[in-house]
Amino acid sequence: MDLLEYQGKQLFAKHGVPVPDGKPARTVEEAVAAGEEIGYPVVVKAQVLIGGRGKAGGIKLAKDRAEVEQHAEAILGMDIRGFTVFELWIEQASDIAEEYYAAILLDRSAKLPMAMLSRMGGMDVEAIAEKDPNAIVRVHIDPLIGFQDFHGRRLAFEAGIAEDVIRPVGALLAKLYETWIAEDASLVEVNPLLITGSREVVALDAKVTIDGNALYRHPETAELRQPGGEDEQEQMAAERGLTYVKLDGNIGILGNGAGLVMSTLDVVAQAGGEPANFLDAGGGSKAEAIVDAVEVILSNPKVTAVLFNIFGGITRCDEVANGLVTAFGQIDVKVPFVVRLDGTNDEQGRTILAEAALDGVHVEKTMLGAAAKVVELAG
Amino acid sequence: MSILVDKDTKLVISGLTGREGTFHGLNNLNYGTQVVAGVTPGKGGQKVESIPVFNTAHDAVAETGANTSMIFVPPRFAADAILEAADAGIALVICITEGIPAHDMMRVYVHLKRGDTRLVGPNCPGILSPGKANVGIIPAHFFSEGNVGLVSRSGTLTYQIGNEIAQQGFGNSTIVGIGGDPIVGSSFIDVISKFETDPETELIVMCGEIGGDEEERTADYIAERVTKPVIAYIAGFTAPPGKTMGHAGAIVSGTSGTAAAKAEALEAKGVKVGKTPTEVSDLAVKTLRG
């Protein structure tokens, strides 16, 4: 789960990571009130889950009340690379002496937490790596011991940051690690990590991702919702407990098991088709789940044909077939379906479909045959 | 021969008394696996059919000599159950549970690395050595004894590929699901190194997917250390970056972890990569028939 900048900063503040004073605002009036309370100059920042806000005109400095009003008016409702701005963060302006980069993340390769520091902040980490791979220092942390002072010193000295801020930057990194652990984050990134003219160390931005599997331990975070942050079909699928990812094409896909569904998308693409979605109906797909899944897939208006690719292990093909018959009884289906049933009870499943003789349903025996057929029918 | 589970496996199941635990535990028992115990705190002294249930893993090991543990408890209790099994001296822990917090697995992984317990999973379908033992949820009726070692990050995709190979008349030494999470106890390399020394295994099939760099590292390992033929499949060529494709570990981050990069890394080291499950099966069969 990705958090908005200000939601991340609120978690930072809770764990003692220094952040500038600020307030969220959803209307121009709230933005003006926030500006008046914080004191000028302030920065009006669009809150969206996508980078490049500054370049898109979503971050503006305001010297007075009139400018806050003008910028808030312009930024609220703005589209930033496909994301609509519903919220602003009004923040005390900071004077910038130096910009560093800091992050804590889970290094999948080493299976350990990793802290990163660079003195070249303000640009994204890939850009830093491209400019000078040695400018990013990485240190692994033993999670059974935690972040030690020496980790902070190593990072700071090796990154070559200004000597007078080595101790406070180390202290900030320790607090950042504390945030990462306490909040079950998979990523906390501060870019830029700011050194002000008066040599204070401040997190000027916050990019925080929380592990969705750990949200039961963080009910307050789980309740944070980003309006407009989710796709309509993805939201609908989440409410029904289905694993769904929206894609750009026109062929709706359903399968059982994440690996098989990914493989199905690939095979459809190889046959010249464009998948509209990833949908895993799960290891033990029951009839109700099939009905839900068909509704979600067909609610995407781009879908012109649907492929069901089932390999029955625990999932029984006769249950999937019954689910499809039920779904066709409840939903007005206007696009062709290609159904491939293989594995446990596949013959019973195919018999059920043959007897039901559903309009526009084509049964195929193999995965490749089914992919070719659905591409042909999708047009 | 086979790897990891066989006739000597004495299995204790954490979560045996739950609905899924009972269903799959009895399936494993009926297959011929020695299921010697269950663990459910507070239900010690009860039985699930013929299988005695204990309050702790330590009691189960002391009373039954269990050497392998299967974890079937909900995600929030799973890390604790794995650590308990390891503390009780279990040599092999197979965790089926999906949805364990990544930080829990990070701590479990680091702790287990310092001891002698091997973990397979989590978020995996388990391990099947046809004709010998089935630990987990792999539908055993598709598979027979044979000489293909199969290792995969995914469940149903493994059944798909395994079944295509089976239909051409070949069986398996062992099928190992290593799991779809970002942190799993055993890697492709851990399992392939066991297949390499297993006399029954003549050919190895690995099914990878997007996310992480396990496949790339396995390619290097195969080139340096593996003499048996390896056929690979990678799922997720069409996955967009930044989206988790069902498995928590199946995500392309920026430009890293793509299917194309994995397939290229494997092919560069001489591993044949099938473009579809059917092609993987065809390549495997062609190699086996020489």
Same domain flag for A188 and A266: no
Residue A133 confidence (pLDDT): 84
**Residue A280's closest CA among A319, A231, A321, A240?**
A240
Task: Decide if A82 is inside a domain.
Answer: yes
Same domain flag for A104 and A118: yes
Q: Identify the domain boundary among A49, A68, A92.
A: A92
Interface probe, candidates A83, A181, A231, A263, chain B, greatest B C-beta count within 10 A:
A263
Residue B17 confidence (pLDDT): 97
Same domain flag for A241 and A348: yes
- Asked if A105 has any chain B CB less than 8 Å from its own CB, the reply is no
| SS3 assignment, position A50 | coil
Same domain flag for A214 and A237: no
Question: What residues of chain A score a pLDDT lower than 70?
Answer: 225-230, 283-285
- Asked if B152 has any chain A CB less than 8 Å from its own CB, the reply is yes
Residue A281 confidence (pLDDT): 84
Query: Domain total for chain A?
Result: 3
Taking the C-alpha atoms of residue B97 and residue B86, their distance in angstroms, rounded to an integer, is 17
| Closest in A143, A270, A313 to B139, CB measured | A313
Residue range B191-236, pLDDT digits in tens:
999 999 999 999 999 999 999 999 999 999 999 999 999 999 999 9
Inspect the interface and report whether the beta carbons of A184 and B139 lie closer than 8 Å: no
Q: Tokens for B115?
A: 């001891």
Inspect the interface and report whether the beta carbons of A265 and B239 lie closer than 8 Å: yes
Residue A251 confidence (pLDDT): 97
Same domain flag for A86 and A102: no
Chain A 309-328, residues with CB within 8 Å of chain B CB atoms: 311-315
In chain A, the DSSP E strands lie at 22-25, 42-46, 59-62, 79-80, 83-84, 88-92, 96-107, 112-118, 136-140, 185-196, 201-203, 207-210, 243-246, 251-255, 277-280, 305-312, 337-343, 361-364
- Asked if A260 has any chain B CB less than 8 Å from its own CB, the reply is yes
Same domain flag for A100 and A181: yes
Residue A98 confidence (pLDDT): 96
Q: Could you tell me the CATH number of the domain that includes residue A203? A: 3.30.470.20
Q: Could you tell me the CATH number of the domain that includes residue A260? A: 3.40.50.261
Residue A18 confidence (pLDDT): 97
Task: Decide if A12 is inside a domain.
Answer: no
- φ and ψ at residue B47, rounded to 5 degrees: -135, 150
Residue A227 confidence (pLDDT): 57
Task: Decide if A174 is inside a domain.
Answer: yes
- CB < 8 Å to A268, chain B: 238
Same domain flag for A85 and A105: no
- CB < 8 Å to A234, chain B: none
Sort A68 into a burial class: Cβ within 10 Å, 0-12 / 13-18 / 19+.
buried
Inspect the interface and report whether the beta carbons of B154 and A259 lie closer than 8 Å: yes
Number of Cβ pairs < 8 A linking chain A and chain B: 165
* C-alpha B168 chain-centroid distance: 24
Q: What positions of A carry a catalytic annotation?
A: 101, 189
Same domain flag for A213 and A256: no
- CB < 8 Å to B210, chain A: 262
- CB < 8 Å to B248, chain A: 212-213
Chain A 6-45, residues with CB within 8 Å of chain B CB atoms: none
- Asked if B166 has any chain A CB less than 8 Å from its own CB, the reply is no
Lowest mean pLDDT among A107-116, A124-133, B39-48, B174-183: A124-133
- φ and ψ at residue A297, rounded to 5 degrees: -60, -45
- CB < 8 Å to B254, chain A: 126
Task: Decide if A14 is inside a domain.
Answer: no
Interface probe, candidates B124, B142, B156, B168, chain A, greatest A C-beta count within 10 A:
B156
Same domain flag for A156 and A195: yes
User: CB–CB of A59/A89 below 8 Å?
Assistant: no
- CB < 8 Å to B152, chain A: 259
Taking the C-alpha atoms of residue A91 and residue A96, their distance in angstroms, rounded to an integer, is 14
Inspect the interface and report whether the beta carbons of B213 and A109 lie closer than 8 Å: yes
- Asked if B205 has any chain A CB less than 8 Å from its own CB, the reply is no
Same domain flag for A239 and A351: yes
Same domain flag for A250 and A374: yes
Confidence of residue B256 (pLDDT cuts 50, 70, 90): confident
Chain A 135-164, residues with CB within 8 Å of chain B CB atoms: 142-144
Q: Identify the domain boundary among A59, A92, A125.
A: A92
User: CB–CB of B284/B148 below 8 Å?
Assistant: yes
CATH 3.40.50.720 spans which residues of chain B? 10-120
CATH class label, B143-289: alpha beta
Q: Could you tell me the CATH number of the domain that includes residue A33? A: 3.30.1490.20
Residue A354 confidence (pLDDT): 93
Inspect the interface and report whether the beta carbons of A283 and B183 lie closer than 8 Å: no
Inspect the interface and report whether the beta carbons of B99 and A211 lie closer than 8 Å: no
A85 lies in which domain range?
21-92
Tell me the average pLDDT of chain B.
96
| Closest in A109, A268, A343 to B212, CB measured | A109
CATH 3.40.50.261 spans which residues of chain B? 143-289
Residue range B259-272, pLDDT digits in tens:
999 999 999 999 99
Residue range B79-122, pLDDT digits in tens:
999 999 999 999 999 999 999 999 999 999 999 999 999 999 99
Q: Identify the domain boundary among A55, A77, A92.
A: A92
- Asked if B140 has any chain A CB less than 8 Å from its own CB, the reply is no
Task: Decide if A203 is inside a domain.
Answer: yes
Q: What positions of B carry a catalytic annotation?
A: 247
Task: Decide if A263 is inside a domain.
Answer: yes
- CB < 8 Å to B160, chain A: 260, 263, 311, 342, 367
Task: Decide if A178 is inside a domain.
Answer: yes
Interface probe, candidates B114, B143, B238, B253, chain A, greatest A C-beta count within 10 A:
B238
Interface probe, candidates A244, A279, A311, A340, chain B, greatest B C-beta count within 10 A:
A311
DSSP sequence for chain B: --SS-STT-EEEEETTTSHHHHHHHHHHHHHT-EEEEEE-TT-TT-EETTEEEESSHHHHHHHH---EEEE-S-HHHHHHHHHHHHHTT-SEEEE------HHHHHHHHHHHHTSS-EEE-SSS-EEEETTTEEEES--GGG--EEEEEEEES-SHHHHHHHHHHHHTT--EEEEEE--SSSS-SS-HHHHHHHHHH-TT--EEEEEEESSSSHHHHHHHHHHHH--S-EEEEEE-TTPPTT---SSTT---BTTBS-HHHHHHHHHHTT-EEESSHHHHHHHHHHHHH-
Can you tell me the ipTM of this complex?
Answer: 0.93
Task: Decide if A48 is inside a domain.
Answer: yes
Same domain flag for A244 and A368: yes
CATH 3.40.50.720 holds for B10-120: yes
Taking the C-alpha atoms of residue A229 and residue A222, their distance in angstroms, rounded to an integer, is 14
Name the strands in the sheet holding A361-364, side by side, starting at the edge strand that comes first in the sequence: A243-246, A277-280, A251-255, A305-312, A337-343, A361-364
What angle, 0 to 180 degrees and rounded to 10, lies between the N-to-C axes of helices B156-167 and A258-270?
A: 70
DSSP sequence for A321-364: HHHHHHHHHHS---S-EEEEEEETTHHHHHHHHHHHT-TTEEEE
